[in-house]
Structure 1
Amino acid sequence: MTELHGLVAREAAEANRAAPALRDDLVAEALRNAGMLVRERRSTILEANAGDREAATGKLDEGTLDRLRLDDARVDALAAQVEAMAEIEPLEREAGSWTLANGLRVSERRIPIGTVGANFEARPNVALDVAGQLLKSLNTAVLRTGGAALRTVTVLVDDVLRPALESAGLPPGAVGLVRSADHEGARILVSLPRQISLVILRGSGETTAALARLAAENGVRTLAHAEGGGVLYVHGSATPERALGLVDASLDRLGVCNRLNLLLVDRAASGLVAPIMEALREKGLEVRGTVDGALPLDRSLGFEWANDAERVGTVTVAVVEGLEDAVRVANEETSGLAAGIVAEDEDAAEAFLDGYRGTAAFWHAPTRFTDGFELTGAPETGINVDWAPGPRGPVTYRDLWLRQYRIVGDATQRR
């Protein structure tokens, strides 16, 4: 066992010991305290963040540096974020109950998982966001951030979250941290099945996918957000106004997983290709694909351009032969994050929604709404695109539980 393995295991063990102490009222108090401490310790947080940014300058692209950066307004947003989490209704613990013919009373309960790991990108706000949701669901946490944000996240854990927990009468070790910038820390996090049975993996690309594979080899479940990219299918019945409006609304931001990535145009809607191409050019975007005016596609059809910092301003546009072809492409050649249709034909829209197997299906709405807070009113830990039972799509604190049956009898029941 390496020294780092031992350090991570100790953080996990401390979090496991803290788990039984969590209660809804005390967690809410701790989150309110955390908001207050963020404001009180603003200068310490900003100083740590300045050190992170200085060390990262010249190594990270401008978009990543901006996500790393904190200023007064963003610190205020951090405080507001945990305070808002404190006021959200706690998870309802009983999902249902019934009485069997033999008199046994059965209830289906939602119980905490225990300690949950979280590996996320170098964004300081994610530390408070994920920790807040795990605590809200009465789970403890072991966090691991991208090395570029480690100074800032360490301050947020040691000077904000842990003191906030302690002042509410809770064990400060309920939030642990992988205290190393070495990527080996992430691999260890997904290799401790007896202490951490579930790890939330945020981020995109092969690194996250590799961690998910390693977790599976070690018997650790993951909620992984490794790929994204929204799809929009323009049906033959689509009006120009709605098609162009949805294209515009889907591209308000480029470096996010739920923006328009692949635009599928039905051959029957080929008259809309020229105005769509013009709209994309006016936004300064590069278009790749199989329509007139597009550059040749040098990646797979569903390649997520938001993952490529050098080519984030790219959209793929391709012609499909009909609705069945569009559904096939969305299901087989993309991540399964989200897909939408623009169509005046209601039967066609319903057929698309029924046929698509991804996490969110849209009709006359942009895939940008594939977001936990937008859809459910609660922040998300990430978007799970697994093709298996369990929480899919935006994962919030409401999804972070285990099912337990509770059975009460009178000692007379026999099988």
Structure 2
Amino acid sequence: MLYKWAKLALTLMAGILLNGLCPPALANTTFAESASPDGGADTIPLASIALLLPLRSGPLGAAADAVRGGFLNAYERDKNGLAVTVIEAADTPGDMLAAYLAASKKYDILVGPLSRTGLTAIIQNGQVDKPTLALTQPDFSNGKEMTLPPQLLPVGLSIEAEARQVASWVGADYAPGKVFVLSTGAAWQKRVANAFVQQIQGSGLHADVMTLNLEDGVFNAGALAQLQQRIESEKPRLLFAALNADQARQIRSAVGLETPIFGISQLNPLTLNDNNPEHQIPELNGVRLLDIPWQVEADHPAVMVYPHQPVAADQRRNADLERLYALGIDAFRIAHEIAARNTVFQIDGVTGQLNISFGVGTPSFERIEPAAAYQNGIVTPLGAP
């Protein structure tokens, strides 16, 4: 059963929460709330949620802690009727699978894993019997798509999905013509470039993919000059930059302002309300991209409601960790809807407009992110793409 009656009188230890966040040392810790602490007749049923994260992982520990912070802060705002248990689950596929299978015997809803390899192990095991919100996307890099279990809903942030949304955006506004797709040999950039190219097909835009070589983070001057010559002679409608912000800055400085440049959230290393002049990138003014509301929409209703992660006064917020913190917020909101037995719903989330069908038929998940552009060296929202 999704719901089970429970009588509990849990008191959180003094000092557990600091600005709404659970300290890094806490794992396998339960947070719960009921309407009647004394166990009276008005006690409400609890849905139990297990949040499985590699909190002690070297590569993924910071990311896991960011997700947990967002998830628990969202839980603090709307905890009634729910119990959340944070479970340490190592990030190796075998350890994650073992933690998942153990948790699935005890909890109503499972949230995790965070790694693609962990999710692949769970899918291949074939024992997804409880509603499961994966915090990543399945790895289809080998070209063979796996059939997802009906109880599994991947809700992780996807740069490939962003690339497809950008392709639909420019396909509607710039066809017909040619688009230069720029990337380096980095694996994530190749995935983004491929996703864009696949989505652009049939739009009237023809994609010409170019892989540029980097040396110590710097593009070869000859390659940049050649790119500029091709732009002048072939006159592409736009450039799609499957790059990071520094790489895009080099491209922009080499080719000038005439040809529009589009990209994904990785073009934005800034965080919301970062007005430090030293962080601004005026070379990218006019470059258009997608990013989540948590990063670009200060007046978004949900963005205004949830607290941000506390950071030391001498530390700069990390954009990627902010995105994962926002993912934690929306993951809880989705789990809350599933706990309420809602099967088709929308959430105006801090990671985008979420359209979800889960619990009846084949699950579906769509995230639509707002369009944005660099203005005065910072990223500001545009209208709908």
- Give the TM-score of the pair, scaled to structure 1: 0.32
Greater RCO, CA 8 A, separation 6+: 1
Give the TM-score taking structure 2 as reference length. 0.34
Structure (1 or 2) with the larger CA radius of gyration: 1
Q: Which has the higher helix share?
A: 1
